[in-house]
């Protein structure tokens, strides 16, 4: 289905295009929505995210204080189209703005909500303590424990495939607080400061040579009770909300990006003469 853009959407696109023409860093062009060959989060990416936030282009549907401009849903689609057509990411660091910030705004306390602007601007880097060696697709099988000890939890366990853990100041961590109930219950989400004693971060080197992922080990890491997001033992509700925010953002980005990839593929086929070649058709199919 193709949408017909009205004058408001076209004016919105023109304003965005003018901004991107003036401010896009050369390093960002052509990146695969979060991919970078540089270790860690490069400074140009931090600056780019801050520039988008300060000018209301980080998450256009949000209000200005959260890096947006109260854009309509149609204007948000225009934004995704324009960014995808230029091969531009909003950030090479996806978890903070796409998962943590909206989750804090939906489930966090008033004090926790104050962390959202820094996550959206990139001033505070977050990692997601979700996957474990035996809890990937079946996330509810997680075994990282958090035991209440007075006014704090003591967290022990292991997370894996934790993006940018080496750069993160905080972890949005999914832990088990009650092992005696069905596995989808007894889960709690905690905000953990990554400089807390007892945390061991071990980078995982990829075949490309980069180290965006890490294993994270927790050994009786003390976390204040006020760092619970939502309520104790009701973390699965927060988990579903977090994943909905992630998948929703990815769907919009990916849909727009794939459309432009197909346009480029068609153009390449015409230039190379591969269009109509049955061998090529079979391989693509």
Q: 3-state secondary structure string, the chain?
A: CCCCCCHHHHHHHHHHHHHHHHHCCHHHCCCCCCCCCCCCCCHHHHHHHHHHHHCCCCCCCCCHHHCCCCCCHHHHHHHHHHHHHCCCCCCCCHHHHHHHHHHHHHHCCHHHHCCHHHHHHCCCCEEEECCECCECCCHHHCCCEEEEECCEEEEEEEECCCCCCCCCCEEEEEEECCCCCCCCCCEEEEEEECCCCCEEEEEECCCCCCCCEEEEEEEEEEEEHHHEECCCCEHHHHHHHHHHHHHHHHHHHHHHHHHHHHHHHHHHHHHHCCCCCHHHHHHHC
Which residues are the active-site residues?
246
Q: What's the sign of the alpha-carbon dihedral 226, 230, 231, 232?
A: negative
Rg (CA), the chain: 21
Q: How many Cα atoms occupy the beta-carbon half-sphere of 59 within 13 Å?
A: 22
């Amino acid at each position: 289905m193709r949408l017909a853009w009205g004058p408001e959407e076209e004016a919105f696109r023109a304003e965005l295009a003018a901004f991107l023409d003036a401010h896009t860093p050369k390093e960002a062009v052509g990146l695969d929505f979060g991919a970078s060959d540089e270790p860690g989060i490069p400074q140009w990416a931090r600056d780019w995210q801050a520039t988008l936030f300060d000018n209301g282009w980080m998450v256009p549907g949000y209000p200005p204080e959260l890096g947006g401009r109260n854009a309509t849903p149609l204007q948000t689609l225009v934004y995704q189209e324009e960014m995808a057509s230029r091969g531009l990411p909003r950030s090479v660091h996806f978890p903070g703005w796409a998962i943590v910030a909206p989750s804090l705004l939906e489930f966090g306390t008033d004090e926790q909500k104050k962390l959202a602007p820094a996550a959206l601007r990139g001033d505070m880097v977050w990692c997601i303590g979700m996957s474990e060696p035996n809890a990937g697709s079946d996330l509810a099988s997680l075994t990282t424990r958090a035991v209440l000890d007075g006014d704090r939890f003591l967290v022990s366990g292991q997370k894996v495939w934790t993006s940018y853990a080496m750069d993160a100041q905080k972890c949005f961590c999914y832990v088990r607080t009650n092992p005696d109930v069905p596995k989808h219950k007894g889960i709690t989400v905690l905000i953990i400061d990554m400089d807390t004693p007892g945390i061991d971060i071990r980078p995982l080197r990829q075949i490309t040579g980069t180290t965006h992922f890490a294993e994270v080990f927790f050994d009786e890491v003390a976390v204040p009770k006020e760092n619970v997001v939502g309520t104790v033992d009701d973390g699965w509700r927060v988990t579903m909300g977090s994943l909905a925010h992630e998948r929703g953002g990815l769907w919009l980005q990916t849909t727009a990006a794939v459309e432009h990839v197909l346009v480029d593929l068609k153009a390449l086929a015409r230039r190379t003469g591969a269009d109509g070649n049955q061998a090529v058709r079979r391989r693509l199919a």
